[in-house]
Amino acid sequence: MKVSRNFVLQEFVPPTIWRKYKEKSIMFLDARVIDIAQAVRELFDEPIVINGRFLGNTYKNSGYRTPQCSEGAYYSQHKFGRAIDLKFKSLPDYDEVRKVIRANFHLFSAHGLTAMELGTDGWLHLDCRWSLTPDKLIELPKW
């Protein structure tokens, strides 16, 4: 089910959720994560993978994570449907990607971005957690 120009709903939920709820799986997501993913895709003009089991990739917990999921922090924003881990197909330097996100934060904050995880190699964690200062990017240490 297409949810934006470049993404389908199955990319944002694990396979078990998709199999059980199909199109209703959208209820597990904050709509802002879809907007953020699309904004990143458009700015970089590069293919991005979130979850891709149905595409032949191994990623399955890079969007919404069920409360039973043991991956990540106990109160991860993923478990509230407010976080995504993006993997670029042809941009391997995630520190450079983070610099571009910082420089264009005003564009992303309009889509709800409030936080970005630092120090990850191989993915870019972005989320739309509630913040008292939504005009300032929260930069999180790697968990």
* Domain boundaries of the chain, sorted by first residue: 9-140
> Bridge-partner residues for 66, per DSSP?
none
Neighbours of 121 (CB within 10 A): 9
Contacts with 13 (C-beta within 8 Å, 6 or more apart), sequence order: 21, 25, 28, 29, 51, 63, 64
Q: Dihedral (C-alpha) 46, 1, 65, 51: value to the nearest 10 degrees?
A: -30
Gap between the Cα atoms of 131 and 122, Å rounded:
26
Gap between the Cα atoms of 49 and 42, Å rounded:
14
Enter the tokens of residue 22: 């199909």
Q: Dump pLDDT digits (tens) for 22-76.
A: 999 999 999 999 999 999 999 999 999 998 655 555 677 899 999 999 988 889 9
Residue 2 is classified by DSSP as: B
- The CATH code for residues 9-140 is 3.30.1380
Q: Is the pTM of this model over 0.85?
A: yes
Question: Residue 88: helix, strand or coil by DSSP?
Answer: strand
Q: Dump pLDDT digits (tens) for 73-107.
A: 889 999 999 999 999 988 779 999 999 999 999 99
> Bridge-partner residues for 8, per DSSP?
2
Q: What is the pLDDT of residue 121?
A: 85
